[in-house]
Amino acid sequence: MKLGRLNHVGVAAPSMQDAIAYYRDVMGARVITDPFDMPEQGVKVAFVNTPGEAGTAGTQIELIEPLGETSPIAGFIAKNPAGGQHHVCYEVEDIEAARDWFTAQGKRILGPTRIGAHGTPIFFLHPKDMLGQLTEIMETPRGDH
């Protein structure tokens, strides 16, 4: 298993509209996507990127807002009413090899591998096994950022 670069930081927010305005107006980030619903995950999602150096993509923040009362991040927002850092996501070239690697390390994987907000296979690892961080692993073809 070869871990790639950090793909994005997931930030949960009570208001998607306010979160987008914050990243755009205060942080100078570019809004990459309009918010879209992922009903099967119980979240509304939007991506913003830091501008980055000339010719680079910058760094991505994934904004997530609870969608519906049974959203898996409703509890997170209840504990963090102002919003907060929710997860970190690392790239790998081979999702199955990564899954096997973390399983062999005794790390708890939360649910099946599935297609994430970026349209590529992902899985999540239990924060208590990952230095307190909910960790997303995303398959990203080499050079595809």
- The Cα 58–Cα 18 span in angstroms is 22
**Is 136 marked active-site?**
yes
Coil, strand or helix: which one is 103? helix
Written as one string, the DSSP assignment of 110-122 is EEEEEE-TTSSEE
Binding span for Co ion by CB under 5 A among 3-11, 16-24, 42-50, 91-99: 3-11
Using CB under 5 A as the criterion, what x/- string covers residues 116-145 for binding Co ion?
--------------------x---------
Q: How far is CA 104 from its chain centroid?
A: 24
- The Cα 27–Cα 20 span in angstroms is 10
Using CB under 5 A as the criterion, what x/- string covers residues 19-38 for binding Co ion?
--------------------
Using CB under 5 A as the criterion, what x/- string covers residues 58-97 for binding Co ion?
----x--------------------------x--------
Residue 107 is classified by DSSP as P
Nearest CB to Co ion, comparing residues 30 and 120: 120
> What are the residues binding Co ion (CB under 5 A)?
10, 62, 89, 136
